[in-house]
Amino acid sequence: MAIEGMDIIKAAAFLGAGLSMGLGAIGPGVGEGMVAAKACEAIGKNPDEAGLLTRTMLVGQAVTESTGIYALVIALLLLFVV
Amino acid sequence: MAFDVETWVNVAAFVGGGTAMGFGAIGAAIGEGYTAADANLAISRNPAISGEIFKSMLVGQAIAESASIFALVIAMILLFTEFSNSSYITVCVLLASGLSMGLGAIGSGIGSGYPAAAACKGMARQPEMSGRLTTNMLIGSAVCQTPSIFALVTSFILLFTNFSGRPISPTWAAILGAGLSSGLAAIGSGLGGGLVAGASCEGISRQPLTVTPVTNVMLLGQAVTQTTAIYGLLVSFILMFKVFPETGSMAPPMALLGAGLCMGLGAIGPGVGEGCTAQNAVRWIARNEKATGDLTRIMLVGQAVAESTGIYALVISLILIFVV
């Protein structure tokens, strides 16, 4: 196999992108799931406040998503920019 | 496959950057999710102070986020810096730096979620204690973040030290070992410290009069829990700054890599276990203030026993570095 130098750099960039997004998706998945689960419980205990609780759930999930977005940014940089 | 060194440096930079951000995103997201979940439950219990709870949730989540921001910084540095002194050591430096910060962010991220969640729940239960709950949440989370700061320090030292005078073998293994030691050791201590801080916020909300003993024992318990992360940092420093003689065989490099893995992995268990101990000690001091002395004593004895395997790991690490 005669592999070029540039080739393996691209290969490493793709591997890095895969690692970044793959591992980076674990945390937000677990975290946002927990938020939604407790939101269901909260609304079950107090249905009158469903609007406020849903809004809080979405804000909480958005903040939790942020590290996943960082991982996505790094992955996109590795795929297209470097 | 014979590539020139620059190629391998770029390979290591990208794989290291991806690893740093990949691992670094896990912990903070789980911690923040846990916080938001309990905050929502707290709001449903006491909608009148939803504003306070919401603010606390955001502040707590911001602290949990900080470890991931460190990981993002390291990933950006790895991706975009031109590394001038290219050698096989630089390859290992970049991988080790990424691993150190990536792994180091996991524990602190998850751990910081606990005090924030407990503070939000506590506010629903006892709105008058909001100020004190926020204070304890901030103190507890800050102590909980220290292992990830150790990992960040290790990453930066790896990136910016001039290793050019060292022989390639076994320094390559020393560098990888240094990254793994700090990174892995931060997982247990970060998580454990968070458990304790969470219990202190819960305890204060249940029994506001016990603020002083709860906070004191929280700080004491967290301090003992952080010791294994300090061992990890110590081993990292030794591996980074000791100049090892040149060697041709495989045994010395593997000894150094083994030393890093040994201290790193060995610090996880005691960190979590001591955190659980201190968590329950703080919880029960809040319920039974008269027993503070007994509880503190048994907490310290229990933590010392839990520390034992961490000490074994430190001893074996040091033997691997200095004797073998």
Which residue among B27, B41, B80 sits closest to A41, beta carbon to beta carbon? B41
For chain B, the average pLDDT equals 91
pLDDT at residue B188 is higher than 60 = yes
Q: Are B117 and B37 spatial neighbours (Cβ–Cβ below 8 Å)?
A: yes
Chains A and B form CB pairs within 8 A to the count of 199
Q: Both tokens of residue B106?
A: 């996991």
Ramachandran category for residue B3: left, alpha or beta (phi over 0 → left; psi -120 to 50 → alpha)? beta
Q: How far is CA A35 from the centre of its chain?
A: 14
Average pLDDT over residues B219-224: 94
Sequence-distant (6+) residues with CB within 8 A of B300 are: B220, B224
Residue A11 is predicted with a pLDDT of 83
How would residue B200 be classed by pLDDT, with cut points 50, 70 and 90?
very high
Work out the number of other CB atoms within 10 angstroms of the CB of residue B296: 19
CA distance B51 to B223: 33
Domain that holds residue B230: 5-322
Q: Are B61 and B35 spatial neighbours (Cβ–Cβ below 8 Å)?
A: yes
Tell me the pTM.
0.88
Residue A30 is predicted with a pLDDT of 86
State how far residue B19 is from chain A, nearest Cα, in angstroms: 6
SS3 content of chain B, % helix, strand, coil (to 5): 90, 0, 10
Q: Which CATH class is domain A13-81?
A: mainly alpha
Residue A1 is predicted with a pLDDT of 52
Q: What is the pLDDT of residues B57-116, one digit of tens each?
A: 999 999 999 999 999 999 999 999 887 777 888 889 999 999 999 999 999 999 999 999
Sign of the torsion angle spanned by Cα atoms B95, B151, B138, B198: positive
CA distance B311 to B317: 10
Average pLDDT over residues B200-220: 93
Which residue among B12, B25, B39 sits closest to A23, beta carbon to beta carbon? B25
Disruptive mutation site among A52, A63, A81 for chain B (greatest number of B CBs within 10 Å): A63
Residue B1 is predicted with a pLDDT of 55
Average pLDDT over residues B17-35: 94
- ipTM over 0.95? The verdict is no
Q: How far is CA A45 from the centre of its chain?
A: 29
Residue A81 is predicted with a pLDDT of 83
Residue B237 is predicted with a pLDDT of 94
Q: What is the pLDDT of residues A35-77, one digit of tens each?
A: 888 888 888 888 888 889 888 989 999 999 999 999 999 998 9
Domain locations in chain A as residue ranges: 13-81
**Which residues of A are less than 8 Å from B24 in CB distance?**
24, 67, 70-71
**Which residues of B are less than 8 Å from A56 in CB distance?**
36, 39-40, 43, 50, 54, 57
Domain count, chain B: 1
Disruptive mutation site among B9, B19, B44, B56 for chain A (greatest number of A CBs within 10 Å): B44
pLDDT at residue A9 is higher than 70 = yes
* ω into B213 cis (within 30 of 0): no
Average pLDDT over residues B205-215: 92
Average pLDDT over residues B290-309: 88
Q: What is the pLDDT of residues B239-279, one digit of tens each?
A: 999 888 887 777 888 888 889 999 999 899 899 999 999 99
Q: What is the 3-state secondary structure (H, E, C) of A22-73?
A: HHHCHHHHHHHHHHHHHHHHHHHHCHHHHHHHHHHHHHHHHHHHHHHHHHHH
Q: Both tokens of residue B99?
A: 């691993």
Q: Coil, strand or helix: which one is B243?
A: coil
Residue B192 is predicted with a pLDDT of 93
Q: Are B75 and B24 spatial neighbours (Cβ–Cβ below 8 Å)?
A: yes
What is the DSSP secondary structure assignment for residue B250, as one 8-state letter? S
Which residues 16-55 of chain A have a CB within 8 Å of chain B?
A: 16-35, 37-39, 41-43, 45-46, 49, 52-53
Q: Both tokens of residue A17?
A: 């992108």
Q: What is the CATH number of the domain that holds B213?
A: 1.20.120.610
Q: Are B111 and B63 spatial neighbours (Cβ–Cβ below 8 Å)?
A: no
Residue B45 is predicted with a pLDDT of 92
pLDDT at residue A7 is higher than 90 = no
pLDDT at residue A2 is higher than 70 = no
